[in-house]
Chain A
């Protein structure tokens, strides 16, 4: 990892579909070099995958997401890792993070509707060994995801003049 890799990561995080040629021109590097660097970042696991940020509210898919906070008793030798890994393996689980504060794990779960999420938590998460307490928060609306604002596009009035000196 060097400064160029750091810049490449920033560009990819912003828009992973940026053409390699464009990135090469911006970085002043041959395109082969850029592509080689991206491959290396993938092989080493720095870049896990290329994906898209979807504004669910604009799709006609039904679906609900929830934040589940968990109090967990840590294990000797393993701390929270084994519990967190077991939770991570469920398809329904989108993210799992160890946090400071009242709760220990912060989990985001997706499901078809609220009943599905409630069932998933009560059947699979709550009864799990070492889970002491759960708090489920249904996500009502999302305003920003992964650094991307999900506000409606700005309506007229804010347009720049095509010419200015």
Chain B
């Protein structure tokens, strides 16, 4: 029989840590800092609005683009919060999570053989989406010494005449890094000079703790070449609803909309209803969740540093990204032994691509009780390493970059 599986499907790697995942399922008393979603429930006002709409029989398709009221509310909020203006009728698509938005955006701009630069460490789907679109993902490392921000010099090293687009995600999963306006300026210049489309996944934008989030499209002339991707999963604890959006100049939006139309038709009606209700009336609930993440961040970063794992201050998202280089273990070894010896699950940084090795992603989207207990166990584990084998001094700096 012929091999029925496409080259593209064969080329993409299986999900990073299946083995790990299976192991955790068989163990009791594991505290998992491996989660990538809020531990809160969706604000009740959004749930209630959705249930009411369902009771009223609102179960049809919506327009391909999404409910006009939701598109308008999104563009109104972007204008109000960031002075970023999009036309709700032609420059917005409501997507089935940011995941779909990213996929259709990549497919809208990628021709076979095009290189798509991907700032890494990154969310695990970017590079595979590029591969599936026939493109060639080109990682650009964001390094610990740059606080995991995208360094224009390192970006330039990877730009070629075949470079078509750049995917960034700030605040970043897994590092928690952000980009300030001046950091983005350096990237904007390169995008202009080399005519790159910028795909900016800003799903953690609302979770910025040390200053307001800066949307990439607000920098210089970037708006004209930027596809802004965002959603409700993180800020409104709506992961399971699968609801997000994409904003871009009409030409790019039109192209993405054609794909959306054929592969998705529209985002789920009831999730759109809930998202609109969230934007209209759940800002207090959102604020309370952001405040809580902020406090937990301080708690976990202080704890990890005390445990002897050097950890920069993540300025956004809900992940700490400490280095384990000082322990002499690789990130995979550390994570596996931590799981089996202390029953704490974390994600090895190298799962997230270049620049991630030697680090762990520790989610603080878990209760404070669990977080405190997990930190104690990590501290105990690191101390036990010191007793068993001579290792380089703890808390030493990052891997050789």
Hey, which bits of chain A sit against chain B, CB under 8 A? 7, 10-11, 18-19, 22, 25-28, 160-165
Contacts of B368 in A (CB 8 A): 18, 22
CB-nearest residue of chain A to B37: A164
Q: Is B173 an interface residue (CB 8 A)?
A: yes
Cα(A150)–Cα(B124), bound, Å: 39
Segment of B89-97, B106-114, B175-183, B295-303 in the binding face: B295-303
Q: A26 CA to B39 CA in the complex, in Å?
A: 18
A26:B295 contact, CB within 8 angstroms: yes
B123/A165 in contact, CB under 8 A: yes
The 10 closest A-B pairs by CB, nearest first: A26-B295, A162-B32, A164-B36, A163-B34, A25-B302, A25-B299, A26-B299, A162-B24, A165-B124, A26-B298
CB-defined contacts of A164 to chain B, threshold 8 Å: 34-37, 239
Q: Are A162 and B296 neighbours in the complex by a CB distance under 8 Å?
A: no
Q: Considering only CB atoms, which chain A residue lies closest to B306 in the complex?
A: A25
Closest CB in chain A relative to B349 CB, distance in Å = 12
CB-CB under 8 A from A25, the residues of chain B are: 298-299, 302-303
Specify the main secondary structure of chain A where it touches its partner: loop
In the bound complex, CA of A128 to CA of B123 (Å) = 69
Closest to B351 in A: A165
- Chain A residues in 8 Å Cβ range of B37: 160, 164
Q: Which residues of B contact A26 (CB under 8 A)?
A: 295-296, 298-299
User: Which of chain B's residues has its CB closest to A162's CB?
Assistant: B32
Are B173 and A165 in contact, with the CB atoms below 8 A?
yes
Residues of B contacting A160 in the complex (Cβ-Cβ under 8 angstroms): 35, 37, 39
Question: With A and B bound together, what is the CA distance between A164 and B345 in angstroms?
Answer: 12
13 pairs, CB–CB < 8 Å, chain A vs chain B: A7-B291, A10-B291, A18-B368, A19-B372, A22-B368, A25-B298, A26-B299, A27-B295, A163-B36, A164-B239, A165-B16, A165-B124, A165-B173
Complex CA distance for A28 and B34, rounded to whole angstroms: 25
- With A25-B299, A26-B298, A27-B298 in contact, do A163 and B123 touch (Cβ < 8 Å)? no
Q: Which residues in window 35-71 of B have CB below 8 A to A?
A: 35-37, 39
Whether A163 lies near B299 (C-beta < 8 A) is no
Contacts A26-B296, A27-B295 given; does A161 touch B35 at CB 8 Å: yes
On whether the beta carbons of B21 and A162 are closer than 8 Å, the reply is yes
Say how far A37's CB is from chain B's closest CB, in angstroms: 15
Q: Which residues of B contact A28 (CB under 8 A)?
A: 298, 302
Contact present for B21 and A163 (CB under 8 Å)? yes
Contact A163 B35 (CB under 8 A): yes
User: Once bound together, how far apart are the Cα atoms of A28 and B305, in whole Å?
Assistant: 13
Asked if residues B36 and A165 are in contact (CB atoms below 8 Å), the reply is: yes
| Chain B hits for A7, CB < 8 A | 291, 295
Residues 89-139 of B contacting A (Cβ, < 8 Å): 123-125
Within residues 353 to 369 of chain B, which ones have a CB less than 8 A from any CB in chain A?
368
Are the C-beta atoms of B347 and A163 separated by less than 8 Å? yes
Q: B299 — which chain A residues lie within 8 A by C-beta?
A: 22, 25-26
Q: What's the least CB distance linking B45 to chain A, in Å?
A: 15
* Shortest distance from the beta carbon of B19 to any chain A beta carbon, whole Å: 11
A24 nearest CB across to chain B (Å): 9
Write out the residue numbers on chain B whose beta carbons fall within 8 Å of the beta carbon of A19. Answer: 372
Q: How far is the CA of A53 from the CA of B20 in the complex (A)?
A: 39
**In the complex, A163→B173 CA distance in Å?**
14
Please give 6 more A-B residue pairs, beta carbons under 8 A apart, in addition to A25-B303, A163-B345: A26-B299, A27-B295, A28-B302, A162-B34, A162-B35, A163-B17
> What's the Cα separation between A28 and B124 when bound, in Å?
33
* Nearest CB of chain B from residue A18's CB, rounded to whole Å: 8
Give the CA-CA distance A11 to B299 in the complex, in Å.
13
Interface presence of B219 (CB below 8 A): no
Interface residues as binary, B128-161 with A (CB distance below 8 Å gives 1, 0 otherwise): 0000000000000000000000000000000000
Nearest CB of chain A from residue B360's CB, rounded to whole Å: 13
The winner among A18, A28, A160, A162 for most chain B CB atoms within 10 A is A162
Residues of chain B within 8 A (CB-CB) of A27 are 295, 298
Contact B25–A162 (Cβ < 8 Å) = yes
Separation in Å of the A100 CB from the closest CB of chain B?
A: 23
- B119: shortest Cβ distance to chain A, in Å? 16
Inter-chain CA distance A28–B210, complex, in Å, is 13
Residues of chain B lying within 8 A (CB to CB) of residue A10: 291
Bound together, the chains give a CA A161 to CA B302 distance in angstroms of: 26
